[in-house]
Amino acid sequence: MPRSFSFFLLSFLLLFPQTSWANLRVVTDITPIYGLVAQVMKGVGTPSVIIRAGSDPHHYQLRPSEAANIEQADIIFWIGPELTPWLQPAFDNLAADAKIISLMKIDGLTRLAAGADSHVHHHEDKHDHDGKNEAGHHNEAGHENSGIDPHLWLDPENARIWLQEIARTLSLYDPENAEIYRENARAADHKIAGLQRRIARIMATSRLMPVFAQHAAFAYFENRFGLEIAGTLYDRENEAPSPGHIAELHQLTRNLPKACLLAETHLENNVIASVFSKTDLLVMALNPSGAANSPPLTAYSDLMERLANGLEKCSTP
Give 160 or 215: the residue with its C-beta nearer to Zn ion. 215
In angstroms, the CA 303 to CA 288 distance is: 7
**Binding flag, residue 217, Zn ion (CB under 5 A):** yes
Q: Which of the ranges 117-125, 130-138, 154-162, 211-219 carries the binding residues for Zn ion, by CB under 5 A?
A: 211-219
C-alpha span between 125 and 134 (Å, rounded): 11
* Nearer to Zn ion (CB atom), residue 26 or residue 216: 216
- Give min distance, CB of 159 to Zn ion, in A: 16
Smallest distance, Zn ion to C-beta of residue 288, A: 6
* Residues between 74 and 103 with contacts to Zn ion, criterion CB under 5 A: none
**79/217 with CB nearer Zn ion:** 217
What does DSSP assign to residue 78? E
Is there a contact between 290 and 305 (Cβ–Cβ < 8 Å)? no
Closest approach of Zn ion to the CB of residue 83, in Å: 7
Strand partners, 26: 75
**CA-closest candidate to residue 48, choices 33, 64, 59:** 33
Stretch that binds Zn ion, among 90-98, 203-211, 214-222, 271-279 (CB under 5 A): 214-222
- Nearest CB to Zn ion, comparing residues 10 and 285: 285
Return the range that interacts with Zn ion (CB under 5 A); candidates 32-40, 103-111, 215-223, 245-253. Answer: 215-223
Strand partners, 102: 78
CB of 120 to Zn ion, least distance (A): 12
Residues 6+ away with beta carbon under 8 Å from 50: 27, 28, 29, 30, 62, 66, 69, 70, 78, 87
Considering the complex, state which of residue 26 and residue 33 has its C-beta at the smaller distance from Zn ion.
33
- With contacts defined by CB under 5 A, name the span among 12-20, 109-117, 210-218, 260-268 that binds Zn ion: 210-218
The CB-of-150 to Zn ion minimum distance in angstroms stands at: 7
Give the shortest CB-216-to-Zn ion separation in angstroms. Answer: 7
Give least dist CB 312 to Zn ion, A: 24
Give the CA-trace dihedral at 62, 67, 69, 75, to 10 degrees: 100
Give the CB-nearest residue to Zn ion: 217
* Beta carbon of residue 201, minimum distance to Zn ion (angstroms, whole number): 27
Question: 3-state DSSP: the chain helix, strand, coil percent, rounded to 5?
Answer: 45, 15, 45
Alpha-carbon distance of 247 to 226, in angstroms, equals: 27
Q: Candidates 21-29, 165-173, 209-217, 227-235 — which segment interacts with Zn ion by CB under 5 A?
A: 209-217
Strands (E), the chain: 26-28, 48-49, 75-78, 99-102, 207-208, 211-215, 229-234, 258-263, 280-285, 315-316
Q: Which is nearer to Zn ion, 163 or 217 (CB)?
A: 217
Listed in sequence order, the residues at least 6 apart from 14 whose beta carbon sits closer than 8 Å to its beta carbon are none
Q: Which is nearer to Zn ion, 217 or 262 (CB)?
A: 217
Q: By rule CB under 5 A, what count of residues binds Zn ion?
A: 1
Give ∠ CA 89-126-59 in degrees, rounded to 5.
Answer: 35
Please say which residue, 19 or 294, places its beta carbon nearer to Zn ion. 294
Binding site residues, Zn ion, CB under 5 A: 217
